[in-house]
Each structure stands twice: as structure tokens, then as C-alpha cells.
């Protein structure tokens, strides 16, 4: 305010000189202000971009946390990157209840356990029908093509799904428990195979690390705590089996022979007990 009043009482010449000299700082100040505005605009634009990117990463992280798998590994529902993508169309999620036999109940789960019977052998042979699979070039895809054995007589790529390897090992252990119903006590080669199966199944159980909680209840008949039925989130086995059955390999289970079973088409083979075949 005082500066403005002083300017009004100066001489015209002095005022002219003062206008000339005092105008420059204000022009320079305007130039600084314009540069500052430009810098602030650039800064705010960069800050906006950084915040947007951070929010995007947070959203992606929340989605990955919700689905429980790191980026690029896949999911239980859609299939993991280490799994055979040919089978992905068959993936269907369902909830199943695992039933534990209570004291005095009739055992309705004897289809797969107990001493050898034709029905038990048939049930397991049916489960293991697709233990080995043959794939054409198109079916094999990049995951199997040139990465697994190719039969010279049929041109199929030989592979399978780990689930059936696991079922095979479980059945092999079952047969070993009832060895007197099959071929007698297991010798060293069979013992080696049994050890392989135990260690393989151990790795599978630890890998999948099922976190379903166990619940206990009192069983009056048994006079102790027993496990209660458990709901589990599962893949639909029947859907996977349906897709795989037409591809079941008709090559000998004795992998040392490396030859086919004549002209039998895929899916037409009949499985038998492991001990009986060896």
C-alpha cells in the first residue's frame, strides 16, 4: 500500500524511470510463476499416474489374494500352469462330504477296500482305466509335444494325469496289504515300487495341503472321540474321467517292452490287478 502511494507523488520523469526499472521484476516474476505452474502440472500428472499404477497393483493383489494363487500359476478352478491344459474344459468345482464310518453303521464304502473280490478288482480297474493316455499332435499341445515319449507304431504321445498315478499307487498299496490274495509276498522289485508309492503319495498330500478342518464328536458305541463327516471342495472326478477315457492308452503297462497291443484303438483296453500282471 505504501509503495503505491509513494508512486503517486513522484515526478513524471522519475515515475517513467521507475516504471521502466520496476516493471522488469514483475515480468520476471510472471515468468517464474508460469514455469512453476508448468512444473506443478507435470508433477501432478506424474503423481496421478503413479497413484493409478499403485491402485491397479493393489487391485490385482487383492484379486490374487482372494483366489489364493500368485500371478501366472493358475487356479484350482481354472487349472494350474503345471497341469495338462487339454483337461481344463472338464474342470468343475463341487462340494463333497467325506463320510467316516461310525460304530454300528453298515459300511457302504467297501467297493474299494477289503480282501480281494471280483467286485473290488473291477471297481479299481474301472478307476484306473485312464491311467495311461495317448495324445495326437494336436491333443498333446506344446506341453507334451516333443517333451514325452512317442510310440513308433501309433505316433501317439504317451502321457497321463498325475491323479491316476496316485490312484495306481494307492491301489498298489491295497494289493500289497492283501498280498496273500494275489501273488504272494512282494519281492525286492515290488518292495522298491511300494516305497516309491509311499513317498510319492506323501509328496502329493503335502503339496496340496488340504486345509479342511477336522471335527470330532463322541461315539457312544466306540467310547471315544471320532472324526465327523467333512465337507470338501473338490474337482468333479467324473467329468475329468469322461474326457480322458477315449484317450486311454492301449500300450503294454510293462514300459520296458515299448510296444503296442496290436491295433486296439485308444480307450478300448482292459486293466487288471498289478500283481497279477507282474
pTM above 0.95, yes or no: no
Nearest partner of 131 among 106, 168, 94, judged by Cα: 168
Helical H runs in 145-187? 162-177
Same-domain pairing of 7 and 82 = no
Residue 32 has pLDDT above 80, yes or no: no
Same-domain pairing of 192 and 139 = yes
Q: What is the pLDDT of residue 62?
A: 47
Same-domain pairing of 233 and 175 = yes
- Grid coordinates given for 121: 478288482
Same-domain pairing of 15 and 122 = no
Q: What is the pLDDT of residue 221?
A: 84
Same-domain pairing of 100 and 26 = no
More confident: 57 or 50: 50
Same-domain pairing of 177 and 151 = yes
Same-domain pairing of 84 and 135 = yes
When pLDDT is cut at 50, 70 and 90, the band that residue 34 belongs to is low
When pLDDT is cut at 50, 70 and 90, the band that residue 55 belongs to is low
Same-domain pairing of 215 and 168 = yes
Residue 110 has pLDDT above 50, yes or no: yes
Same-domain pairing of 161 and 206 = yes
What single DSSP character describes residue 113?
S
The residues facing 158 across adjacent strands are: 134
Same-domain pairing of 24 and 96 = no
Please write the tens of the pLDDT for every residue from 124-161: 999 999 999 999 999 998 889 889 999 888 889 999 99
Number of domains in the chain: 2
Q: What is the pLDDT of residue 28?
A: 42
Residue 9 has pLDDT above 50, yes or no: no
Residue 4 has pLDDT above 80, yes or no: no
Q: What is the pLDDT of residue 101?
A: 74
Among residues 38, 67, 96, which one ends one of the domains? 67
Among residues 67, 95, 112, which one ends one of the domains? 67
Same-domain pairing of 165 and 203 = yes
Please write the tens of the pLDDT for every residue from 192-241: 999 999 999 999 999 999 999 999 999 888 899 999 999 999 999 999 99
Same-domain pairing of 141 and 61 = no
Among residues 49, 67, 85, which one ends one of the domains? 67
Burial annotation 2-33 (CB, 10 A radius, 16+ → b, else e):
eeeeeeeeeeeeeeeeeeeeeeeeeeeeeeee
Distance CA 133, CA 248 (A): 4
Range of the domain at 187: 76-277
Q: What is the pLDDT of residue 35?
A: 57
Residue 176 has pLDDT above 70, yes or no: yes
Q: What is the pLDDT of residue 241?
A: 96
When pLDDT is cut at 50, 70 and 90, the band that residue 44 belongs to is low
Q: Residue 184 region, left (φ>0) first, then alpha (ψ -120 to 50), else beta?
A: left
Phi first, then psi: give them for residue 9, nearest 5 degrees. -110, 10
Amino acid at each position: 500500500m505504501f509503495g503505491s502511494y509513494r508512486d503517486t507523488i513522484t515526478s513524471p520523469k522519475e515515475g517513467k524511470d521507475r516504471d521502466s526499472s520496476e516493471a522488469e521484476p514483475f515480468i520476471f516474476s510472471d515468468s517464474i510463476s508460469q514455469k512453476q505452474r508448468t512444473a506443478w502440472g507435470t508433477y501432478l500428472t506424474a503423481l496421478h499416474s503413479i497413484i493409478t499404477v499403485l491402485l491397479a497393483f493393489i487391485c490385482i493383489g487383492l484379486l490374487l489374494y482372494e483366489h489364493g494363487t500368485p500371478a501366472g500359476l493358475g487356479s484350482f478352478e481354472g487349472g494350474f500352469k503345471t497341469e495338462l491344459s487339454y483337461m481344463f474344459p472338464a474342470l468343475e468345482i463341487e462340494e463333497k462330504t467325506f463320510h467316516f464310518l461310525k460304530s454300528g453303521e453298515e459300511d457302504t464304502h467297501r467297493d474299494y477296500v477289503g480282501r480281494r473280490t471280483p467286485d473290488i478288482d473291477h471297481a479299481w480297474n474301472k478307476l484306473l482305466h485312464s491311467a495311461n493316455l495317448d495324445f495326437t499332435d494336436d491333443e498333446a499341445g506344446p506341453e507334451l509335444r516333443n517333451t514325452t515319449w512317442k510310440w513308433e507304431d501309433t505316433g501317439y504321445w504317451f502321457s497321463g494325469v498325475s491323479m491316476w498315478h496316485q490312484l495306481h499307487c494307492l491301489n498298489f498299496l491295497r494289493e500289497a496289504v492283501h498280498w496273500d490274495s494275489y501273488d504272494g509276498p512282494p519281492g525286492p522289485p515290488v518292495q522298491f515300487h511300494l516305497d516309491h508309492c509311499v513317498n510319492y503319495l506323501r509328496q502329493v498330500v503335502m503339496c496340496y495341503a488340504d486345509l479342511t478342518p477336522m471335527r470330532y464328536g463322541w461315539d457312544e458305541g466306540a467310547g471315544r472321540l471320532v472324526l465327523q463327516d467333512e465337507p470338501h471342495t473338490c474337482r468333479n472326478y467324473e467329468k475329468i474321467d469322461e474326457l480322458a477315457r477315449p484317450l486311454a492308452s492301449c500300450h503294454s503297462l510293462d514300459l520296458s517292452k515299448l510296444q503296442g497291443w496290436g491295433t486296439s484303438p485308444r480307450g478300448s483296453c482292459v486293466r487288471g490287478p498289478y500283481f497279477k500282471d507282474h
